[in-house]
Amino acid sequence: MEEATRSIAQLSEEVTVISRENEERTRKVIRMAEEVHESLSHVASISEENAASAEEVAASSEEQNAALQEAHGAVQEVVALAQRLEENLGRFRI
Closest CA to 34 of 46, 42, 45: 42
Cα distances (angstroms) measured from residue 63 to each of 6, 66, 68: 85, 5, 9
Distance CA 85, CA 79 (A): 10
What is the predicted pLDDT for the residue at 48?
A: 97
> In this predicted structure, what is the pLDDT of residue 5?
81
What are the pLDDT tens digits along the chain (94 aa)? 788 787 888 988 999 999 999 999 999 999 999 999 999 999 999 999 999 999 999 999 999 999 999 999 999 999 999 999 988 888 876 6
In this prediction, residue 94 carries a pLDDT of 61
- Amino acid (1-letter code) at residue 49: E
What integer pLDDT is reported at residue 89 of this predicted model?
Answer: 85
pTM value is 0.56
- Using a CB cutoff of 8 Å and minimum separation of 24, what contacts does 3-10 make? none
CA angle 53, 60, 72 (to 5 degrees): 160
Amino acid 14: pLDDT: 92
Domain parsing of the chain, residue ranges: 1-68
